[in-house]
Amino acid sequence: MAGVVSCPHCGQRNRVPSAGAGKPVCGKCGKPLPWIVDAGDPDFREVVEASTTPVLVDVWAPWCGPCRMVSPVLEKLAAEKAGEVKLVKINADEAPEVSRRFDIRSIPTLMVFRSGEAVATHTGAAPATVLRPWLEDALSNNSRPVP
């Protein structure tokens, strides 16, 4: 499955796969693209855990006001970190197995995965000034898997 994202550098719309080796680049200008895709129970392992790129997972629901508030912040961070992180959006209503597996009790819940392991979790909506340093810390080699 593929999504479509606009290149923040030249505006070209590009298809971006949900999973795969490497990192997406713009077909027109060749610069890194924000990697923003949807996933669910059937493809979570392939899209998130098998990713060689660190993954920021957003567990959300369409009826959740705070989820809708934090979504543009996450998309902005994904654009800022193009080539460094993949943003995967998981609708909690459509992915009960993911919610059970990671004991998600509140949404939005954000998780960062590196090498298939969750290394950071954040619950609730927050502004970019809070989420940016949280994400940068999780992407650093200093963070350890979440127990």
Active site residues: 64, 67
Interstrand relation of 86-91 and 55-60 (parallel, antiparallel or unpaired): parallel
d(CA 128, CA 130) in angstroms, rounded, equals 5
- Report which DSSP code applies to 46: I
Residues sharing a CB contact under 8 Å with residue 141, sequence separation 6 or more, in sequence order: none
Residue 116's region, left for phi above 0, alpha for psi from -120 to 50, else beta, is left
- Give the full edge-to-edge strand order of the sheet including 117-123: 35-39, 86-91, 55-60, 109-114, 117-123
